[in-house]
Chains A and B, each alone.
Chain A
């Protein structure tokens, strides 16, 4: 094989992107859910 592009930066960038995006999506959805359910309880209690 010819010595060409170093594959590791591409591999690490892919993993970092996928993991960070997945984590951000979970965190954001979790916070939105907690906020919405809390608001429902407040409205119910009033």
Chain B
């Protein structure tokens, strides 16, 4: 890597996340990053078949922050997301979600954390076809053990907050792809969840609809959630506060967006 990278990275102000900390304080939640990946390494296979999917990746995502992860196929993007969500365990390193280390947590703690703190959004929406939008959003809360009446109330509130109330009683096949994905984001963030992990959530959508999905994800992060978005589409990664580039399992570069004041000063648009 050229020394230009090093200086570019060192020169970046470490101000991003300040807004997130503010949001967290406003919401009365614990300070510090929602997600912390420390020296994360994942090796698949052994001997000659050994593949280093991730090599010592460090990443923090604060409340209020949306981080995009980009990289060619095989660069480790999906592995990173799987590890961050506790769906797989690293070979070494730590995954800390809301202060709990997933690598040392008991099976029961891990299951609870996956259910209560982490929301997932997938490329193919993964809504349950036999349930309405409201029932889909209520489902994770019911699994959390709250009454179905309360779960439904929370689901309707979440849909309304996301501007999706008109979809509440529709079944997935009565919704467009973009609508389904927005409902899936509502489901990922219902209740107290504030970490959302999105794997190519715009994969099957056109650019305008994809933008609408990203605008929703962005607004949820602005409201205090923390998000990781894995995508190979620059246009969608551009909604993030930070874009992390992976190559061969390592972070090779990170870009921050500019400070708001400088945006219209003529530097951004030429």
Mutual binders A and B: no
User: Which residues of B are at the interface with A, using a C-beta cutoff of 8 A?
Assistant: none
User: Which residues of A are at the interface with B, using a C-beta cutoff of 8 A?
Assistant: none
